[in-house]
Structure 1
Amino acid sequence: MRWWEKRKHLLVREKSRIDEKYPDNDFVFEVRNDRLWITGTILGFFEFECCYPPSYPSAPPDIFPKDRSSKWVPRHQYKKEGRFCLDIREKSWSSRLTAADIIKSLEVLLIAEEIRVASKSDKLIVYEEPEPTVIDRLIRVKQCVIPSDLELPNEGRFGSFKYAYKWKSSTCRIVVTGISGEEIKNESSLAKKVWLDDTLSPQFKGMWIRVNSNDLSKLLVLYDPHKVIEHLKGQGVIPKDLDLREFFEKMSLWKFLVLDEEYPYISFILDCNIEKKKTSRSGTYIFDLRALADRMPSKDDYQHLKNKKVTIIGCGAGGSKDAEYFVKSGVGEIVLIDDDILRTENILRHSCQLDDLSVEKVYAVEDRLKKINPDIEIRAIRKHLDIIDADTDQVIKDSDLIIVATASNEGLFNEYAFSRGIPAIYSKVYPLGFGGEIIRVIPGITPCYECSHQFKEVLIQEEKPDAEFPEIETASYDTLSDGTQIPIPALAVDSDFISLIGVKMGLEVLIEKDWEKLSGSSHIRLWGNKKQWIFDQEFECISIPSDKIRKIPNCIICYGDAVVEEELNKAGEQIDREYDEILSRIKSTANEEKENNH
């Protein structure tokens, strides 16, 4: 069901807000390809088209010139279809705004462009944000560290390896995979691929193999180790009339990387040692995955969690640790969402390691989780969520828990999770890691995140009116060209406390079948690593009682349609009538368009 059919109050609010700001408008609502559009004219000359996203109101509408020209305000239009870049952007969008605000923002932009042209200025008066410099862009360039160079023969099935960069341990990684559609779409900066035989067994796709660069002479990948020599003979490496012993007596030490179909999660080195006149394999470990839960305190909980799905937004220091602990607790399905890559300065706080450098965080964390439990189901999405688009919604809408491990766009995730009845955990680490906070939201049990956060702030002010949140002006490890300081993050040991508490609160929700039993629990916890701000001692945990946190009376997230009725001063019956009228006009427009096309 489309959003305007599912939430009729929102459609009536859209029309009411437009009529308030544009009393004599000629705007028309239309449906095209299952999306709602508004077309009309502003400023007496400019014809626009505004398109609502399928996930509205979690995401803002897009607005275009009707002629799709990108020359109206060239610096603030995307070349493809001329979509405008306004001051109301994804990061500043709120569900309290409407398409009327988007249209008004476009008016301001068009007027500012006219003034700029008339005054022959280089800047728009409403857009004083500096353009990124060359240095800013270079900072964001993704660099692949290892392997930095691979020399392979044209057929790409086996060959010598040379690495321009070597770790102290001389450990390198070989990627056993083709380029997946997801990687192509997201322009993955994963290390260069080793192209393999097309007959490679599918279960090896995406596997990462660690080998010593000094010891590896040749690479060969086959799903049956008994076919190694047959393959070498077929490629002309081994003369067909020579047996294995004769061949290796004439050659130096050889090592082959082999994947054995019998043990799909095991890789090993086939070691052909001429001096000792023997061929052996090493690095194998036969394991039984059924034994993973043998030492869990509650096998029932472990089995219960195998059917749970947790979405983690943000795979930095906190998100990567959260993912690891959820997998170790038994959660069977994880969705990872992040758009950043792992950099050197991340390593001392992150769950991943140096040999994961230059890899997208979602892929690096996915790889680490697979090493903990290969049976875990993981969906890695390389994306920055300023909005929740239809594709992302399709993946995460059936989540049992959402972890918001990023300090931005909480309002977006709050509206999305709360309206769909999905519990969520919001965690935040304070500057330099002197403490942090965790807010748990359970729809139907607690207020939404925005209400919880605001009441928390009020309670802190009431309890400790003289406490001032620390201002750490020198907390910076780098400065961008525009003078913006990048703050120093917390030590891993400090931020880990916040992750552990958040995961524990999340597990309570996943394990408890009747959420009503959690109604009396504390859903907001403040943790202090140091005696600072409101914390009277080190390692203090302040739990705010649940009865102290209430819903804000006009919160649209908590109360939904009732707030819209009060805001518009219209009863439900009146909204129903207006909705039917708007809907009939939409259908009429759609029918007219259909007739015109015929």
Structure 2
Amino acid sequence: MSWWFTRSTRLSSEKAAIADLEAGVDWLQVGRWQTNSDLAMCVGFRIVTGDDEFAFEMIYPSVFPDAPPMIYTQDRSLVSGHQYGAEGELCLEHRPDNWLPTITGADMIASCQRLLSEERPEHGAIVHARSAHIASLGRDMRSHYCRLLLTPGDLEALNTLSEYTPQPLILKDRKAASSLISSIVSVGQTDTPFWVSDLLIPKGGLEGNGFVVRVPGAVKQGDISADDLKALLEGVRLAELGNTVLESDGHEHLLIGDAADWELFWIYGEAGKRKVINYTTLPIPEPKPRLPSSHASLSGKKVGIVGCGSVGSKIATSLCRSGVGEFFLIDEDIFFPGNIVRNELDLDDIGSHKAYALRDRLLRINPRIDVKALRISLGGQESANSMAGALEALGKCDLLVDATADPSAFNMIASVSTRQRKPMIWTEVLAGGIGGIVARSRPDIDAVPLAARSQIEIWCNDQGMEWARTAGTNPYGSRGSDGTPLIAEDAEVAIMAAHAARYATDILTRPDASIFPMSAYVIGFSSEWLFNEPFDTRPIDLQPVGTWGETADLLGPDALLQLLKDHLPDKETADATVATG
């Protein structure tokens, strides 16, 4: 509802303030107050400055006085350098970035008059008034559909090119968020490029060939025609290049510029009727440190994640963003529409195996990582060969993560963790989003995983309340103490995944010293079970029990030799096997 329906006192004071202003000056004439078709309150007025007279309309927004009124020219003409186009409003001293509800429409009109007086002094040419405009890259790019990304490395490489010497160029175009984004793939011959861009370019998109040439002072801002481009190239003795890109029927790209000024042209259409589209160059700033320095080592770490569902998908993407360079994913499940509510995947992944879809998701975050994925169920009815291969691969990871909440899978991962002396993390969302558990086992520091899990269950049972562990067909649903259905939501799953991801980076970057004093925590999301309130956290002090590493029966030299003699094939048997194989 518009403000003037409910704030008649403010409307009266607005009218009185503008009437007082009109009575006290000789440059203002106020017209009629009335609403427009949108029921927005409007008032027309005229301002005289020097020999000029300007007609304006001030429109009060429906949320006034929380936002300022807008002043337009009545005929929607351009009268000021501080105007958002001919049909746009004037940019005055009082704007959304400095607006206060105590400012009035009369203040806006007075500001409008000061702007016109400064831009049109009594004696002299029209000038541009002083500006309080603060540049904003996002605001400046709103109207630019085609954009060329250039990294600092791209610019440095381009500026080492010899002047007036065209080089082959490979670009990639992709549509993203209502924009066409182009980026350099490489400069130079395809087989022996002079430069390969350091920009992380996602898969997909359309690669195109073109040319790049360094020409000092050649960049011409704004749209240009094919004839303009031809004249520009001929003027710098590059007529042959002009003929190549302008006298054909194919799509061509030309990147031209020098120093910080580079412009990309897309040339297409029939020969003799060529069209030219300008890309707006968008330099990528030098990256700011956004991760702790200790995370630099994560690029050389490999994490095995079993379970690519709600929790596992979120852990994987968080670790990928944190810098982990290699992943091994295991999950046999298919991604369905119902999984959208809690999973990191989206509608594009419907019908895909979760492990493969998550692999592709991680590569869209960082195309340089190495991701392997298996579509099997750890502990399920799989071939012995597949299961053995999966366990061997897990044993080569630097960290194991169980995100399945499946005891069978846990047992197998725990066995690999213990035998191969690899740290392990597991997390679980309690039934109905009541809370969650996150725990870790570190070789020679914590209990082995199976012992740690037993201690956690004992602790939970000792609380004197029924164990709220996941059970039944809906691992995320249960009922509260009043019988109301409780279902875990995405935010609650994300909290547990975030805790597990923090445990993971802590283990990988601080193998001998942790920021977490305890190796297991129970976190509440409600006042159910043993929790007093949401975010009620209970640490569990796990005792380091169990033996890490392989257990072996050591044989003496004679017994070992006899073992080999008994089981290794002799030469005749080996030759016969080869002959019949």
- Structure showing the higher strand proportion among its residues: 2
Q: TM-score under structure 1 normalisation?
A: 0.47
Larger Rg: 2
